[in-house]
Amino acid sequence: MAASVREALLLDGLDPLDPWAYAAHLGVMILEFDALGVTDGCREQLLDRDPDSWSGMTIREGGATAILLNPVQGRARQCSTLMHELAHILLRHTPVNVQLSSTGMLLLSDYSPEQEDEADWLAAAMLLPRDAIVVHRSRGRSATDIAAHFGVSEQLTEWRLRMTGVDLQIRRAGRR
């Protein structure tokens, strides 16, 4: 699926994938937090007192889909979050738990652990294709260099390196 996404965007395996461009390709809007008109208290809670309690959310209304990203998180984190939310959409995930306030406002929506894992894996594969990681590591590039090239965090790059076994593959190939 990750390869199909890159193909649809006319990207080769070494090109960075821009999640914002991909969202536009899918017709998914990216909402600006400040345009939501939330109260000062809500803004303070979400962005100042507890900014690590959330990264992003997908909102569906009628036939429209939009994603809200936490604006105080860095660009690399937003990149990962946006791709994760887009992965939920691509995989047609539906929340297993939705809580509404007495006024009908959506408060919380949870995906199953399996769906969260699927979205994590697909998002990471779209952002950091395994074949590209092999090429970059074979050329001696560090996780920091690879992260900068793809516009993602070093933490995501390190996770992808561990999960794909690229470094082990390269070490074994060097022994032959």
Which range of residues forms the domain containing residue 96? Answer: 2-127
Tokens 């738990």 label which residue? 97
In a domain, 120, yes or no: yes
Residue 107 in domain:
yes
Residue 103 lies in a domain: yes
Q: What is the pTM of this model?
A: 0.87
Has residue 155 been placed in a domain?
Answer: no
Give the residues across from 97 on adjacent strands: 110
Q: Is residue 168 part of a domain?
A: no
Q: What is the DSSP letter of 17?
A: P
Span 26-44, pLDDT tens digits: 999 999 998 888 888 888 8
Task: Kindly give the interhelix angle for 143-150 and 154-164, rounded to the nearest 10 degrees.
Answer: 110
pLDDT digits (tens, 9 = 90+) for 113-167: 899 999 999 999 999 999 999 999 999 999 999 999 999 999 999 999 999 999 9
Say if 137 falls within a structural domain. no
> How many structural domains is the chain composed of?
1
Give the mean pLDDT of 10-25: 95
154: which residues sit within 8 A by CB, 6+ positions away? 143, 144, 147
Is residue 6 in a domain? yes
Question: What percent of the chain has pLDDT above 70?
Answer: 91
